[in-house]
Amino acid sequence: MLLLQVLSGRGCRGPHPALVVCGAGALAAFAAPVAVAQTVDSNAVSALAAAALGQNGGASAGAGAAAAGGASATSVIPPITPVSIASAAPAQPSSSAWDAKGIDIAAAERLKPPAEPGEYETWLRVVTGRPLKRYGADLLVAPARDFSVPVTSAIPPDYALNIGDTVAISLTGSVEGSARFVIDRDGRIYLPNVGSVSLAGVLYRDLKERVADAIGHKYRGYDVSVSVAALHGVRVYVTGFANNPGSYTVSSLSTLANVVLAAGGPSAGGSFRSVKLYRNGHEVVDFDLYQLLRKGDRTEDPLVKSEDVLFIPPVGRQVAVVGSVNEEAIYEAKPGENLEDVLKLAGGTTNLADSSRIILYRLSDRDTVGSRQVDREQARTEPVAAGDILQILPQGSLIRPQERQQVVVRIEGEVNKPGNYFVAPGTSMSEVVTMAGGLSSRAYPFSTVFSRVSVRQQQMENYHEALDQMEQALTIAPLTTSSLQDAAERQSQLTAAKSFIDKLRQREPDGRLVLDLSPDSTTLSGNIVLENNDHIFVPAKMHTVGVFGAVFRQASFLLDDAQHLHVKDYIDQAGGPIRGADIGNVFVVRANGSVLSRKRGAMAAPVSPGDTIFVPIKTHSTSVLTKLLNFSTLLFQFGVTAAAVSAIK
């Protein structure tokens, strides 16, 4: 290699007549612009390697050559600090501050926020009762505006070089070194001892071949690595109904869509369906942003060039699509499009939609019919009118009459053939029990858990409504609590009550229905018509009674049928109530899910297998917890079963 021969002081003869050299003087003859001393140190060798490409003070060798795709000449050559190269950053004027992505920071700070809702969008919020956005508006929020070409973008093979682009060339082999060249106003770069090389308009895929051919006229025995170190910036004007009209300096890899979206996109009065690109006074393309947003099609999204003008016309006919469609939004219709075309823009109907018709609300019909039904066949020929509202009705989510519904029932527990049974509409509970082989000898019908989906949904609505009212009562509790109570104590009670409500919100009702059976019943109700997804669980008979709450010994006690004990007797077996017990509010949760309070004679009532007795704690009348506990009775009034409350505890 040439540099190694220089270091050794030996003469050499290259494969090309121009490379007949001897020692350092021969290298000086090759690199004429640099005067070489008789004593060659490592720094001088690095300078000579750079001079081989004629770039005094601006070339890099060693590590710089490796960074550009070549190999370092030898380890004795110290690396020269490379010039930072952004492979796809636009040319940046020295008067501006630029961030890491090549964006003018000052220009970015001048960008206005996304456009405010237009008149049609505001009117729709009043008419429909909910906000509807323009389709594509989500791309215009501040975090989504960065459509600049990142510095790590690969340059496409069909990119055509232009004035201002920087080309990095590295040589290894008989000639080593690296340097960068900026394409001048004539579209050329100048290589010393080689001459001018025309690169303007050359495709990136052909760049290496073009440079290698030029150098090959002078030298042999080398490898060349060529890349684009920096791209030139192009100035483009965004005009019309843009959110941020003005001039923008962008990367030469930027497309029409990059520039429009970087400018904040169309304003509230601007069109998404038409962005016109003018070049040298002629319209080059009329780009529909919906093609990109809905179809991902960028075939008509050209690269911009310097002094291009982008014009955003005013918005066209706007149509709202609501109901069972894949994307509810405000869509812009192009001239000639019909109702079916707009429905396709919304992604079509959902799987649960009534796809046979469209409910059309048209401004011209407001004083006459108000709305009208359009079948899908007619929709293909019905032109769009500005301000239309298209509604697609749901179908699959409609609740059908019970007599038309087939029923799947799950029955398990103490039955001879537990399982899932598919039965006809109108089937009763007793019929399903018969299909399941009847009850076993240990079955206890009184404590049967019968759950229904429709009841659970109703319970959930009422349950959450009750919790909301409880929370509202807590909000006003500090205003109604006695002023004699310590503020810290009041706050502590309020915090505990809120924590209790939070725990209640984590639970859900179970949809249990209380069956009207007596403890001595041996069969289930025969007059209950089953619904789809009903669940029947028949437990075994329990011979215990539970006593919990403010008693000395919380436990479950064996039931003695011979003694005929009452609720008070079992409270006494648990040691009786403690000092803080609220005897006046004792209640019993029966095995069938019903609740028996003291006002209804709970203390003197006989107990049944599986009953649970609760003795609450007495609280002061001024406390927030008292208000909460008193209010919690609403849970029962709103249809939450006692079994659900028991599970919550």
Q: What is the pLDDT of residues 228-280, one digit of tens each?
A: 988 888 899 999 999 889 999 888 888 999 899 888 889 989 999 999 999 99
Q: Give the CA distances from residue 63 to residues 5, 518, 619, in Å, rounded to whole numbers and listed in that order.
A: 20, 94, 82
Task: Give φ, ψ of 317 to 5 degrees.
Answer: -70, 125
Q: How far apart are the C-alpha atoms of 154 and 11, rounded to whole Å?
A: 43
Task: Give φ, ψ of 195 to 5 degrees.
Answer: 115, -170
**Residue of 332, 276, 339, 338 lying closest to 308 (CA atoms):** 276
pLDDT digits (tens, 9 = 90+) for 621-645: 555 455 555 445 444 433 444 433 3
What is residue 72's predicted lDDT score, i.e. its pLDDT? 32
Q: Give the CA distances from residue 469 to residues 183, 487, 631, 638, in Å, rounded to whole numbers and listed in that order.
A: 75, 24, 9, 12
What is residue 252's predicted lDDT score, i.e. its pLDDT? 85
- As beta bridge partners, residue 140 has none
Phi-psi region of 593 (alpha: psi -120 to 50; beta: other; left: phi over 0): left
Task: Give φ, ψ of 481 to 5 degrees.
Answer: -75, 150
Q: How far apart are the C-alpha atoms of 495 and 390, rounded to whole Å?
A: 49
User: 228 and 156 in contact (C-beta within 8 Å)?
Assistant: no
Q: What is the mean pLDDT of residues 419-445?
A: 93
What is residue 468's predicted lDDT score, i.e. its pLDDT? 84
What is residue 382's predicted lDDT score, i.e. its pLDDT? 94
Residues 6+ positions from 342 with CB-CB distance below 8 Å? 319, 321, 331, 333, 384, 388, 390
Residues 6+ positions from 152 with CB-CB distance below 8 Å? 87, 88
**Can you state the percent helix, strand and coil of the chain, rounding each to 5?**
30, 25, 45
Alpha helices in 437-508 (DSSP H): 453-480, 487-505
- As beta bridge partners, residue 595 has 589
Q: What is the mean pLDDT of residues 548-554?
A: 92
Residues 6+ positions from 495 with CB-CB distance below 8 Å? none
Q: Is the pLDDT of residue 24 over 80?
A: no
Q: Is the pLDDT of residue 460 over 90?
A: no
Amino acid at the residue 440: S
Least confident of 89-98, 118-127, 132-141, 490-499: 89-98
What is residue 477's predicted lDDT score, i.e. its pLDDT? 61
Q: What is the mean pLDDT of residues 472-479?
A: 67
Per the prediction, the chain carries an average pLDDT of 76
Q: How far apart are the C-alpha atoms of 353 and 216, rounded to whole Å?
A: 70
pLDDT digits (tens, 9 = 90+) for 274-333: 999 999 999 999 999 999 989 889 888 998 988 999 999 999 999 999 999 999 999 999
What is residue 491's predicted lDDT score, i.e. its pLDDT? 74
Is the model more confident about 550 or about 600?
A: 550
Q: How far apart are the C-alpha atoms of 42 and 21, rounded to whole Å?
A: 20
Q: Is the pLDDT of residue 16 over 90?
A: no
Task: Give φ, ψ of 33 to 5 degrees.
Answer: -65, -10
What is residue 621's predicted lDDT score, i.e. its pLDDT? 52
Q: How far apart are the C-alpha atoms of 120 and 468, rounded to whole Å?
A: 36
User: 591 and 608 in contact (C-beta within 8 Å)?
Assistant: yes
**Residue of 600, 595, 605 lying closest to 565 (CA atoms):** 605
Is the model more confident about 69 or about 203?
A: 203
The tokens describing 418, both together, are 């537990």
**Residue of 259, 285, 286 lying closest to 271 (CA atoms):** 286
User: 625 and 497 in contact (C-beta within 8 Å)?
Assistant: yes
Which helix (DSSP H) or strand (DSSP E) does residue 587 occupy? strand 587-589
The SS3 assignment for 90 reads coil
Q: How far apart are the C-alpha atoms of 193 and 219, rounded to whole Å?
A: 10
What is residue 73's predicted lDDT score, i.e. its pLDDT? 31
What is residue 17's predicted lDDT score, i.e. its pLDDT? 32
CA dihedral 366, 371, 372, 376 (to 10 degrees): 120
Phi-psi region of 401 (alpha: psi -120 to 50; beta: other; left: phi over 0): beta
The SS3 assignment for 84 reads coil
Q: How far apart are the C-alpha atoms of 326 and 329, rounded to whole Å?
A: 10
The SS3 assignment for 245 reads coil
What is residue 197's predicted lDDT score, i.e. its pLDDT? 92
Q: How far apart are the C-alpha atoms of 106 and 246, rounded to whole Å?
A: 14
Q: Is the pLDDT of residue 464 over 90?
A: no
CA end-to-end distance (rounded Å), the chain: 87
* Beta-carbon count within 10 A of 637 CB: 9
Q: How far apart are the C-alpha atoms of 194 and 172, rounded to whole Å?
A: 17
Q: How far apart are the C-alpha atoms of 430 and 410, rounded to whole Å?
A: 13
Amino acid at the residue 533: N
Q: What is the pTM of this model?
A: 0.58
User: 295 and 99 in contact (C-beta within 8 Å)?
Assistant: no
Q: Give the CA distances from residue 204 to residues 160, 201, 225, 231, 239, in Å, rounded to whole numbers and listed in that order.
A: 6, 9, 13, 12, 32
The tokens describing 425, both together, are 């509409």
Q: What is the mean pLDDT of residues 434-459?
A: 92
Is the model more confident about 482 or about 334?
A: 334
The residue with tokens 């109530």 is: 577
User: 86 and 98 in contact (C-beta within 8 Å)?
Assistant: no
pLDDT digits (tens, 9 = 90+) for 44-60: 333 333 444 443 333 33
